Structure formats: C-alpha cells, structure tokens
Amino acid sequence: MKPTIKDIAKEAHVSVTTVSRVLSNKNNSNSDKTSKKVRKIAQQLGYRKNTSAVELVTRTSNVLAVILTATHTNFSDEIIAGIQDQAYKNGLDVIISYAGENNAHRQFQSIKTIIERSVKGILLLALELDEKSRQLLIQSKIPYVFLSLANDKKMPFISSNDFQIGYQATKYLIDKGHKKIGLAGLDDKSFMGKQRISGYKKALSDNKLKLDSEWITTGLFTYQDGLNSMKHYGKRPQVTGVVANSDLVGVGILNQARKFGVKVPRDLAIISIDGTGLCQIVHPQLTSITQSFYEMGINGVNFLLNSKEPRRLSKFTSIKIEEREST
Amino acid sequence: MKPTIKDIAKEAHVSVTTVSRVLSNKNNSNSDKTSKKVRKIAQQLGYRKNTSAVELVTRTSNVLAVILTATHTNFSDEIIAGIQDQAYKNGLDVIISYAGENNAHRQFQSIKTIIERSVKGILLLALELDEKSRQLLIQSKIPYVFLSLANDKKMPFISSNDFQIGYQATKYLIDKGHKKIGLAGLDDKSFMGKQRISGYKKALSDNKLKLDSEWITTGLFTYQDGLNSMKHYGKRPQVTGVVANSDLVGVGILNQARKFGVKVPRDLAIISIDGTGLCQIVHPQLTSITQSFYEMGINGVNFLLNSKEPRRLSKFTSIKIEEREST
DNA sequence: AACAGTATTGCAATCGGTTACAAATGGTGT
DNA sequence: ACACCATTTGTAACCGATTGCAATACTGTT
C-alpha cells in the first residue's frame, strides 16, 4: 500500500496535522527539528501526496486545462509552449485534452471531463464551440479564455486582430504593386474569416481597387485547400498576388503553382498568414504575417490567474510582416 | 456553491447512497422510478461529479497520462491521435504533459505531478529519461510504456525496429545502385541511434560495400542538423545517397542541396525516416521509411490496460517504404 | 518559583463521494 | 394471515489530506 501521512505520523511519533503542515510548507509554525525528521521519513517511505485528497479538501486545484482540436493547426505547439512556460512559473500544472476534430460529442465529453476535475481555468485553442458545449462551459463557472480564435459571442478571447491581418496582408501586396489579389483557403462562415475578409476588402477599397469575388476561395485552412485554390486561380492565374490564410494553404498554393509552371514570386506573389517554422523550410521561403502565438499562451494564463470573477476580455496580440522569398 | 449528491438526495427525498448508485450507473439495484427522479433532479441542479472525491474513495482513476518532449514533435501528433482514439473507446481520459526539452528538472517535475494524480498508466513519448526520473517512475508502481523510443534498460517499449529501419533504408539505396551512402542527423549516443547505425553497417557489409565513417553525421534529428549534414557532404557530395534520420533532417538536406546546386534525386538520393505529412509537401517529395505511429498509440494503450502486474514488453510496429520523388 | 507570552503540536471536523452490510419493502404461494 | 425470498433503500465507515481552535511546551522576566 502506498504510504500516507498517517504512516509518516506514526513513524515520526507526531500527529498527522504536523506532518501535513510540514509537507505542505506551512513551515512558519513547525520547529526545524520536527520538520527535518518528518521530511526525512517521508523521503524514506517514498511518500507521494495524493492530489485527489488535497483537491477535495481544499476545493481548489492548481491545474490549467487546454482543450484543442486535432485539426492540424501547426501553430498550436507554439501556443502550448507559452502556456506551459507561464503556468510553470506560477506553480501550475497543465493538462491537455484533444477534442477530436469537428466532433461535437467528443468536444462536449472533453469539456465535461475537464469540468469534473474542477480545474483552475480552461484555455480553448482554435476551437469553435457548438451551442451545447458552450452552455456547459459557461454554466461551470470556471474561468476560461479562447486563444487564437476570436468570437462574436462576448466570450473572452486573446487572438490577433483578424481584420488587421486581412488589411495588412492585402496592403502589403498592394504596396508591391499588385492590383489583382486573391484571398485563399478561409472559412467564410467563421467570425475570424469574416473579419479577414472585411480587412481585405477595406484595403482594396482604400486603394481604389476593384474586387472580384472569384478571388476569394473558401476552405478550412488546409494544405488541400491551398492546392484547390491555385487550381481555381488557374495556370495563367487571374491574380498576381495571394494572401494565404494559413501556412499550409500557402505551401499548397506554392506547390500547385510549381506544377502549373507558375513561378513564385515572379508570376505570383504569396503572403502567408501565421508564420510558423514551415515558412522557412519550404522553397521559396514564404513571406508571412507572423502572429505572436507564444505570447497568446502567456497572456492566456495571466488572464485566467487574474480573473476572480468572470470578466470580459478582448485582447489582440501583435502581428508583424516577415518578408521572405515569396514576394 | 456547487451542488453535491447530498443536495440531490435532499431534494429527491432519498439517501445519498441511492443517488450515488444511480449516478454511477450501478442501476442493477435501483428502481426505475427512483433512478429517473434522481437523474432529473441532478440535471436540474446542474450537478457535476467531483472527480477528486471519486478518485479518492475508489483509489483508482480512469486517466492515462502522456509525457512528451517539446523536441521532435512532428510525429507525436499521430501517436497521440492513436492514444486518444483507443483511450476513448475504453472510457478513459487522457492528459498530456510536456516535459520541456532536455530539461531534467522539468522532466522530473512532470513525472512527479503525474504520479501524484495516481493515473492508470503513463505513456512516454520519444522521451529519454535521466536516471533520477527513471527511479521515480519505477518506484511509483504505475504501469508505463515508452513509445517510439526503445531502450536498453529493460523497460517496456513499443517502437519500430530501429535496426531494421537502418538496414532497410540502406538496402533500398543499395538496390538503387548507390555505393556511397550517408546516414545523417542521428544521435549516436542513444540506443536508437546505435541500432540504426548497426543496421546501416550490416546492410553495407552484407553487400560488400566499404564504409567511410565520414558518411555518418550526428545530431538531434533537427532541420538544422539536415543543413549541417549536407554542408558536411559538400557541394560535390562525397555520397550519392543519404538516409535522413528524420523528416526534418531530410528537408534540411534537400534545401541545402538546392543551395549547392546539387539536384535531387539526380545527384543525390534521399530517403527519410518517419514518413510524416511533411514528406509530401516539400519538393521533390521525399521517399520515406514510414513508421506506424498511430498504431504505436493504439498498442501503447492496450498494453497499459492489460498490464495488471508490471511486465516486460518489447514490441515492434511495422515499417514500410514509400517511394516518392527523392530517389 | 510563578507567570505571561509565544512557539509548537494535536484533536477533530470536513471535503464529496462509494460501498459493505443491515433494514425495509414488496410480492408470492399456501 | 404468514413465512419466505427478492428487490430496493438507508446507515455509517472510509478514502487522505487540510485547518480552526484548543492544548501543551518552551522562554524569559521578575
């Protein structure tokens, strides 16, 4: 049987109270001698705290939960790194749960499991919640924050400003002299997609450029969507520049362009949104609007730690343009 | 305050025992009428089980823990997908903890945290444990299994047969007519590295080919190691074929070769070990020894579920060669 | 030596569930 | 009406920690 504080208490001829105080570092009130003795015996017995018991009695837990989709958002690693680092600094543990992809049931299950562990906070990564899961989450009263995906439901989030992303990316190509600019691979049903489209349109109209709705291709930010977009633009592309809505889309466009014999950047300029490592290992390297994913993770944790009462939050992290070889 | 079974009991005019039985589906012994009533009230009150309490009293948990490094992450997604799917089928929850990269302290911390939650089993992904962490893990008596990384310490693992990987990859190039074959980017200190080197050497000697130790470059399976390896091989490469020890290494070699004006596969053939999606989105697409990562995840979970008493396991999952454009 | 004041320690209740065992209830056959 | 057994329900102990409060042990002062 695994040793408990009772065993230690017996061995050390003290009460469990004393053992508990020593082992949870309330050392302001125990003598050095006793502390040392208790710690030594705990060590000898190979004692491990039972977290369930602690959480039960203290009614708190020092765990942050991250929920993400399995959809291969290749930037989630960066966000998670930020979360982990910041959590670690604050003595918190992190547990991660994959909610399947677009599987409402699994999503619900995942959130339910998390809630039943009464974690300290929940970070939702690039996750679009269906209504039922959303109710569950709100009802739980556990602080939460969406990362990387904003939303229009008045739920707290930290993300890039997607209007700005759409605007800046487009503006960048305009400044390079392009007049026919595509926007590829985004989900025009999502809040994020709408924002980017608005930014894109605004940049065009601000510069007195007309827009052809054929230039916008929809999708779910995947590699395949990139290929499809390029096929749509054609061998003699109807656009001279394109804003790829994820790095994978960018690479897809790039590869299909190569197949078509369309030279990048000579015949087609590409600017890719995200700026993950992928941009640098393809050829030509992709110019990108780089998001501050790591920072999103950091900020997300900070927000949860300071939110005693549920409060509103809409925070944008910075974006920057990194020019590489595709423009 | 969050409702407990006591609240439900009061509301339903039954005892907590009854509520507990209903809500944990021991319905073999409760009347339908009571069950329905209890469930309805639980629903109304927005009741959520307190997992800590359950785990405390039952002394079990239905959680599997995954520990991984931040390092060679580009195949861990596949393994995790396998783990998740299989865990889900068995009604288990999965929590994931990143142990930092090569940070012994963080590794130890991570394992300690997991153990204190007394999970049902631990899956260690591509993780090389230092001695202290290893002791802790063994001492905990919790079933565990290493995935993707074999080891010589008599600890259970599921991985590919790295000797075979080294052998097959080399043999493949030999069959293509290559006589000077490099082995790039592996850690020759690790068990895995040693196995691959043995396989590589055996394939050469079986075919009466001599070996030049300059052809083996060491590293930690990173993109940068790929670049370095190619720089080492030179503009007029001393090898005509190379076995890249990870997809990232393969891409690194590819890109540096392009910079050198070395044409792949004409001047240099590349076969890459892992076979993740990356192989298909670079140009030319990389031929690969593809590992069964998803299957590793499945098998890992199954092993943990069947291991009442800690037992030995050395299981190899299948590998296959997928020919693409780089050879 | 007595006493106040402070530093340590221990008692016992508590967190929210589960479960062995006992008690109550209900149905059946005679 | 009663014995008998099966079904359903309840009582109370327990899991392993934390913590308010009371009890005890020390310390220095007069």
Residue whose structure tokens are 């905990």: B140
Q: Is the pLDDT of residue B176 over 60?
A: yes
pLDDT of residue B31: 78
Find chain B residues with C-beta within 8 A of A49's C-beta.
Answer: 116
**Which stretch of A89-98, A163-172, A297-306, B159-168 has the lowest confidence by average pLDDT?**
A89-98
B202 burial level (CB within 10 Å; 0-12, 13-18, 19+): middle
Stretch B221-240: mean pLDDT: 97
Residue B274 · residue B78 · CB < 8 Å: no
pLDDT of residue B56: 94
Backbone angles phi, psi at B287, to 5 degrees: -65, 145
**Which stretch of A210-219, A310-319, B220-229 has the lowest confidence by average pLDDT?**
A310-319
pLDDT of residue B315: 86
Q: Is B96 within 7 A of strand D by CB distance?
A: no
Stretch A154-158: mean pLDDT: 90
Averaged pLDDT of chain A: 92
- Token pair recorded at residue B208: 């009466």
Among A111-125, A305-319, B186-200, top mean pLDDT goes to B186-200
* CATH of A5-49 given 3.55.50.30, 2.170.130.30, 1.10.260.40, 2.40.50.140: 1.10.260.40
Which residues are within 8 A (CB) of A148 and not within 5 positions of it... i.e. 6 or more apart?
A73, A75, A79, A125, A126, A158, A159, A160, A291, A293, A296
Q: Which residue is nearest to nucleotide D12 (CA to C1')?
A: B17
Stretch B245-251: mean pLDDT: 97
A215 burial level (CB within 10 Å; 0-12, 13-18, 19+): buried
Q: Is the pLDDT of residue A308 over 60?
A: no
pLDDT of residue A72: 57
pLDDT of residue B310: 53
- Write the DSSP assignment of B54-99 as a string of letters: HHHHHS---EEEEEE-SSSGGGHHHHHHHHHHHHHHTT-EEEEEE-
Which residues are within 8 A (CB) of A223 and not within 5 positions of it... i.e. 6 or more apart?
A248, A249, A251, A252, B277, B281
pLDDT of residue A183: 98
pLDDT of residue A141: 87
Dihedral sign of CA atoms A179, A185, A191, A192 in order: negative
Q: Does domain A58-160+294-316 have CATH number 3.40.50.2300?
A: yes
Q: Is B24 within 7 A of strand C by CB distance?
A: yes
Q: Is A34 within 7 A of strand C by CB distance?
A: yes
- Token pair recorded at residue B60: 């079990």
Interface test with B, best of A89, A98, A112 (most B CBs within 10 A): A98
Question: What are the residue ranges of helices labelled H in chain A?
Answer: 5-12, 16-23, 32-45, 51-58, 76-89, 104-116, 131-139, 162-175, 191-206, 223-233, 247-260, 278-281, 293-306
Higher confidence at residue B27 or residue B163?
A: B163
pLDDT of residue A98: 84
pLDDT in tens, A169-184: 999 999 999 999 999 9
pLDDT in tens, B98-125: 887 778 888 888 898 899 888 999 999 9
Homologous superfamily of the B162-291 domain (CATH): Response regulator (3.40.50.2300)
Q: Is the pLDDT of residue B312 over 80?
A: no
The proportion of chain B whose per-residue pLDDT surpasses 70, expressed as a percent, equals 96
pLDDT of residue A323: 98
Looking at residue A271, the DSSP 8-state letter turns out to be E
Distance B270 CA to C15 C1' (A): 61
pLDDT of residue A106: 84
- HSE-CB of B154 using CA atoms within 13 angstroms: 3
Interatomic CA distance for residues A16 and A9, integer angstroms: 5
Q: Are B49 and A258 inside 8 Å of each other by CB? A: no
For β-strands A287-291 and A269-274, DSSP reports them as: parallel
* A114-A115-A121-A123 Cα dihedral, nearest 10 degrees: 50
pLDDT of residue A104: 85
Higher confidence at residue A127 or residue B215?
A: B215
Distance from CA of A198 to the nearest CA of B (A): 30
Q: Is the pLDDT of residue B132 over 70?
A: yes
Higher confidence at residue B26 or residue B287?
A: B287
Distance from CA of A50 to the nearest CA of B (A): 6
Looking at residue A12, the DSSP 8-state letter turns out to be H
Query: Distance of alpha carbon B114 from its chain centroid, rounded?
Result: 17
Q: What is the CA radius of gyration of chain B?
A: 25
pLDDT in tens, A93-149: 888 888 877 788 888 888 988 998 889 999 999 888 888 999 999 988 899 999 998
Distance from CA of A115 to the nearest CA of B (A): 8
Averaged pLDDT of chain B: 91
The proportion of chain A whose per-residue pLDDT surpasses 90, expressed as a percent, equals 72
CATH topology of domain B60-160+294-317: Rossmann fold (3.40.50)
Same CATH fold, B162-291 and B60-160+294-317?
yes
Q: Is the pLDDT of residue B199 over 70?
A: yes
Stretch A149-154: mean pLDDT: 76
Which residues are within 8 A (CB) of B36 and not within 5 positions of it... i.e. 6 or more apart?
none
pLDDT of residue B73: 62
* Helix, coil or strand: residue A144: strand
Interatomic CA distance for residues A221 and A199, integer angstroms: 18
The proportion of chain B whose per-residue pLDDT surpasses 90, expressed as a percent, equals 72
**Could you tell me the end-to-end alpha-carbon distance of chain A, in angstroms, rounded to an integer?**
65
Which residues are within 8 A (CB) of B209 and not within 5 positions of it... i.e. 6 or more apart?
B174, B179, B181
Interatomic CA distance for residues A146 and A126, integer angstroms: 7
Stretch B153-166: mean pLDDT: 92
**Which stretch of A287-296, B225-234, B304-313 has the lowest confidence by average pLDDT?**
B304-313
pLDDT in tens, A255-289: 999 999 999 999 999 999 999 999 999 999 999 99
pLDDT of residue B213: 94
Closest-CA residue of A relative to B279 is A282
Distance B302 CA to D6 C1' (A): 40
The proportion of chain A whose per-residue pLDDT surpasses 70, expressed as a percent, equals 96
Domain boundaries, chain A: 5-49, 58-160+294-316, 162-291
Cis amide leading into B237 (omega within 30): no
Q: Which residue is nearest to nucleotide D16 (CA to C1')?
A: A53
Q: Are A116 and B77 inside 8 Å of each other by CB? A: no
Distance A210 CA to C10 C1' (A): 82
Q: Is A59 within 7 A of strand C by CB distance?
A: yes
Q: Which residue is nearest to nucleotide C10 (CA to C1')?
A: A15
Q: What are B94's strand-pairing partners? A: B64
Backbone angles phi, psi at A227, to 5 degrees: -60, -50
Higher confidence at residue B114 or residue A229?
A: A229
Closest of A127, A94, A100, A97 to residue A113, by C-alpha: A97
Give Cα separations from B142 to A42, B155, B189, B311 (angstroms): 19, 13, 28, 12
* Helix, coil or strand: residue B327: coil
**Which stretch of A189-193, B104-108, B220-224 has the lowest confidence by average pLDDT?**
B104-108
Find chain A residues with C-beta within 8 A of B1's C-beta.
Answer: none
pLDDT of residue B58: 92
Could you tell me the pLDDT band of residue B97, with boundaries at 50, 70 and 90?
confident
pLDDT of residue A127: 86
Higher confidence at residue B129 or residue B278?
A: B278
Stretch A7-30: mean pLDDT: 89
Q: Is B61 within 7 A of strand C by CB distance?
A: no
